[in-house]
Amino acid sequence: MSEIRTEVEGRVLRLNNLDKVLYPGSGTTKAEILDYYARVAPALLPQLRDRAVTRVRWPHGTGAERFFEKNAPGGTPSWVRTVRVGEVTYPVADDLPTLLWLANLAALELHIHQWRLDAADRPRGADRIVIDLDPGEPAGLQECCQVALRVREVLREQSLGEHGLEVVPVLSGSKGLHLYAALPEALDSATTSAIARLVAERLEQEQPRLVTSTMTKARRSGKVFLDWSQNNAAKTTVAPYSLRGGPRPTVAAPVSWSEVAAGAEDPLGLEQRSPGEVLARLERDGDLLG
C-alpha cells in the first residue's frame, strides 16, 4: 500500500508505507504504530501540550539507522503549530492530526522538555522535576525500583509549597524508570536541577554501592545512575506514553507505586510494557498521570 489520504479532525493526512515493518523483532508495521498513537492520544496529548517536541526517527525501522530531529522538517503542513526557541523551530504536537503526522514520519520516540510554552510561545519555567533512574549492568529494573522508593521519600520531604512533592513512576520503555514530580509553581531550570542533584547526591551518600550521581560510565557498573541533568532547560526526556525504539515496541508507561514495590522485591515483579499492555491498562484503570 503506497499512500492513502484520510481526514482527521478536519485535517487531510497522507499516510504512506502502512505495511512497512518498523519493529523487525515483532513485525510491527507502521499501520500498527499509527493505530497505537491514535488510541493512546487522549493520555499522550496532555503530556505534549505546549511542549516543543524533539523526535527520534527510524525511517527504515529500528533495525536500521535512526536520527534525532529538532527542527520541523521540510514539507511540514501549514496547520502544524511550530515555535522558535533559540535557533530551532520545533513542532508542537497539541492535536491528533499532528501526532499522526509525526508517527507517519516514523518518529517513534517523542522527547520533550520539562517546561511548557506560554501564550506568546516563550518557554516558561519548569513545571516538573524528573529523575531518570538508569541501571548499569548487572543492575537492572529491580534495583531501579529499590532506589525509586527512596527517591519518593526524599522528594516528599521537599518544601515547595504547603506539602512535599508527590512523585509518579514511569517505566522508561528501555531499562529503567523515570520519576516525575509536579511543581506547585514554575521554577527556573537551575533550581530544579539543583533539587534533583541534591536528591541524587544524598542517595549516593546513603547507598554508595547501589547509587551513583556521576555520569561517568566506568563508575556505573552494578549501580543505578540518578540522572538529575535532564532538568537542564536544554535537555529532553521521552514523553510518557511515547513508544521507544528497539527490536520490539515498548512504551514509556506510567505504573503504580505498588507495582514499583513489587518490582523491588522480585526481579520479575515489574517489566517494561508493550503498546497493547499500555492500552489495556488505560482502558481498565485510566491515566495514572491524571
Q: What is the pLDDT of residue 216?
A: 74
Q: What is the pLDDT of residue 157?
A: 87
Q: How many other β-carbons are positioned within 10 Å of the β-carbon of residue 81?
A: 15
Q: What is the pLDDT of residue 116?
A: 97
**Selection from 62, 110, 35 nearest residue 249 by Cα:** 62
CB burial readout 270-283, b (16+ within 10 A) else e: bebbbbeebbebbe
Q: What is the pLDDT of residue 218?
A: 66
Task: Give this prediction's pTM.
Answer: 0.96
Q: What is the pLDDT of residue 160?
A: 65
Q: What is the pLDDT of residue 3?
A: 85
pLDDT digits (tens, 9 = 90+) for 126-185: 999 999 999 999 999 999 999 999 999 999 987 665 567 999 999 999 999 999 999 999
Query: Splitting the chain (290 residues) into consecutive groups of 10 residues, what average pLDDT does each group show?
Result: 88 96 97 98 98 98 97 97 97 98 98 97 96 96 98 86 83 97 94 96 96 82 95 97 97 98 96 98 95
List of long-range contacts for 61-67, beta carbons under 8 Å, 24+ apart = 61/20, 61/21, 61/22, 61/23, 61/24, 61/106, 62/22, 62/23, 62/24, 62/25, 62/108, 62/245, 62/246, 62/247, 63/24, 63/247, 66/245
| Residue-range domains of the chain with CATH | 3-113 (3.90.920.10), 123-235+253-285 (3.30.70.3300)
